[in-house]
Amino acid sequence: MDKHTLRVLEFEKIVDMLVDCAVAKPAKNLAAKVRPYSSRKHVLEKLKETTDATVYMIKKGRPALSGVDDLSHLVLKAEKGGVLSPGELLKVADLLYSCRHLSEYFQEREPDEENSIYKLYQNIVRNDGLEREIKRIVVSNDDLADDASPELFSIRRSIQKTKDELKAALDRLIRSPQYAKFMQDPLVTVRNDRYVLPIKSAYKSEIKGIIHDTSASGSTVFIEPAFSVEANNKIRELMIQEAREIERILRIMSEKVRDFGKEINDNVYFATRIDFAFAKGELSFRLNCICPKISDNYTVKIVEGRHPLLDKETVVPLNIEIGERFKSLIITGPNTGGKTVALKTSGLFCLMAQAGLHVPAKDGTIMPVFNDIFCDIGDEQSIEQSLSTFSSHMKNIIHIVKNADSRSFVLLDELGAGTDPEEGSALAMSILDGLSEKGCTVIATTHYSGLKLYAIKNENMENASCEFDVESLKPTYKLIMGVPGESNALAICKRLGLPDTYIQNAKNYLHNDDI
């Protein structure tokens, strides 16, 4: 699909909405890559996936999928004999929890073999035993439970008992009248994993032991009393045993992850697909969408369509149809009257439908599958290239006429504008002739009166206009099919108070065809 079109029609903003609807990071990454398909088969499959997700959401909401994450690097680490950390094991457990929750979510209802989301779920493999074991053994990202194994429980109990006995002995020394005056603070502290006492520097020779550290000011030294060396050594030996036992436990758990590695990677893939499908369903609900019918030709029919980026409370619904009786639609009407919005809505709806997304419209909406959508919309003036607005538009149009074919949708805003009206009108007709000969589906907006008559005379073209309320001097933003836009300038001037003689004289200058 033409990148310029995706940018001009603001498809990326729809993608951003879709990303926000996804739960887990892998699904958000998948949503960010969404692009329109050019295969009717793929479009139908992706739309059905969105619809199937909405069916489940209506019945029971969305399943919990926050634990789904890409764990392929952890599986690879385990396969190569690496030892997973407690935090990495918890990620595996979180994924297994999401898989279990998915299983419970789908098993609580009648199996729907025709639902594409149910088919994705059938590839999920539970491992409740591994999930429970990890959650029993691991208490945080950095630590294991004391009872992760009988050996670990025994070692930690010995460590705690030795620590308690040593701290009690050190506390007795701190409180004794003989040594209390030597203390900088009456507390036991730790340096280099060994229990020490904070002694005033002036009295450091009064305490027999090993100096482990000195305060920044030099007023305090941290001494390990000689009588506590053996106990501290024992604690250190027990801590080494503890580390070895933790590594042994983690290695066993890592091997279990390795053995279930293929299923873990598959679960991530299918759970991500499910999360993504529910994201599409969520977007459908947020924008109050329907699933469009996909035509087998190039018919575009929008019923009460609302541009998804406009305020849903104030946007005026669009009704537009092209492709059955005629393949080119010429929209006329006042500035700020909604012509460009009609153009952008038509193009964006096609992009959304071809990306497998529902569209914010009413039932009866029909979307085709185009190979390409080309557009020339808005002010494309380029200072860097020193191009005028007209020249810049013509660069886009030249690209379009060279590349568009019968499977293309072409959107042209203010065709032929920016130059002499007579030449611009003639050029616009020539471009429309060429696109019509190619069999393109075309919507073009214009101010030129000549194009209205041109559309009336051409069997393959139709007029439409954006309604204007002469009384209020405001556009209604309603698109009227089959009716060319009126020349509202004279009516507006009369409403504002220009004398009738001036209005009549202006009419005398109009050609009969214009009238």
- What is the Cα–Cα distance from 183 to 222, expressed in whole angstroms? 10
| Global confidence as pTM | 0.84
Report, as an integer, the average pLDDT of 244-268. Answer: 97
Of 494 and 469, the one with more pLDDT = 494
Surface-to-core class of residue 61, CB atoms within 10 Å of its CB (0-12 exposed, 13-18 middle, 19+ buried): exposed
For residue range 186-198, list pLDDT tens digits in order.
Answer: 888 888 888 999 9
Q: What is the DSSP string of 23-82?
A: -SHHHHHHHHT----S-HHHHHHHHHHHHHHHHHHHHH-----TT----HHHHHHHHTT-
**What is the residue extent of each domain of the chain?**
3-127+260-286, 150-246, 293-484
Q: List Cα–Cα distances, 212 to 27, 172, 174, 203, 228, in angstroms.
A: 53, 21, 18, 15, 13
Res. 515: pLDDT tops 60:
no
Report, as an integer, the average pLDDT of 280-290. Answer: 96
Res. 513: pLDDT tops 60:
no
Domain with residues 3-127+260-286, CATH architecture: Orthogonal Bundle (1.10)
Element containing residue 321 per DSSP (H, E) = strand 318-322
Q: How confident is the model at residue 178 (pLDDT cuts 50, 70, 90)?
A: confident
Domains 3-127+260-286 and 293-484 fall in the same CATH topology: no
Q: How confident is the model at residue 184 (pLDDT cuts 50, 70, 90)?
A: confident
Instruction: Say what the pLDDT of residue 427 is.
Output: 87
- What is the Cα–Cα distance from 342 to 476, expressed in whole angstroms? 13
Report, as an integer, the average pLDDT of 256-270. Answer: 97
Q: How many residues does the chain have?
A: 515
Instruction: Say what the pLDDT of residue 389 is.
Output: 67
Res. 384: pLDDT tops 50:
no
Report, as an integer, the average pLDDT of 14-36. Answer: 97
Instruction: Say what the pLDDT of residue 158 is.
Output: 96
Res. 385: pLDDT tops 70:
no
Q: In 119-140, which positions are buried (b, 16+ CB within 10 angstroms) versus exposed (e)?
A: ebbeebebbeebbebbbebbee
Domain with residues 150-246, CATH architecture: Orthogonal Bundle (1.10)
Q: How confident is the model at residue 271 (pLDDT cuts 50, 70, 90)?
A: very high
To the nearest whole percent, how much of the chain has pLDDT over 70?
Answer: 90
- What is the Cα–Cα distance from 506 to 477, expressed in whole angstroms? 27
CATH fold for the domain made of 293-484: Rossmann fold (3.40.50)
Report, as an integer, the average pLDDT of 410-418. Answer: 83
Strands 461-469 and 474-481: what pairing? Answer: antiparallel
Instruction: Say what the pLDDT of residue 502 is.
Output: 84
For residue range 306-320, list pLDDT tens digits in order.
Answer: 999 988 888 888 899
- What is the Cα–Cα distance from 295 to 297, expressed in whole angstroms? 5
Whether 384 contacts 314, CB under 8 Å:
no
To the nearest whole percent, how much of the chain has pLDDT over 90?
Answer: 58
Res. 72: pLDDT tops 90:
yes
Whether 49 contacts 27, CB under 8 Å:
no
For residue 360, what are its two tokens? 């914010």
Report, as an integer, the average pLDDT of 430-451. Answer: 88
- What is the Cα–Cα distance from 315 to 306, expressed in whole angstroms? 6
Q: List Cα–Cα distances, 58 to 48, 54, 198, 427, in angstroms.
A: 15, 6, 67, 52
Instruction: Say what the pLDDT of residue 383 is.
Output: 42
- What is the Cα–Cα distance from 203 to 191, expressed in whole angstroms? 19
Res. 514: pLDDT tops 60:
no
- The amino acid that residue 472 corresponds to is S
Report, as an integer, the average pLDDT of 232-242. Answer: 94
Of 46 and 488, the one with more pLDDT = 46
Q: Is 439 helix (H, G, I), strand (E, B) or coil?
A: coil
Whether 288 contacts 60, CB under 8 Å:
no
Instruction: Say what the pLDDT of residue 336 is.
Output: 58
E strand spans, 335-460: 366-367, 372-376, 408-412, 441-446
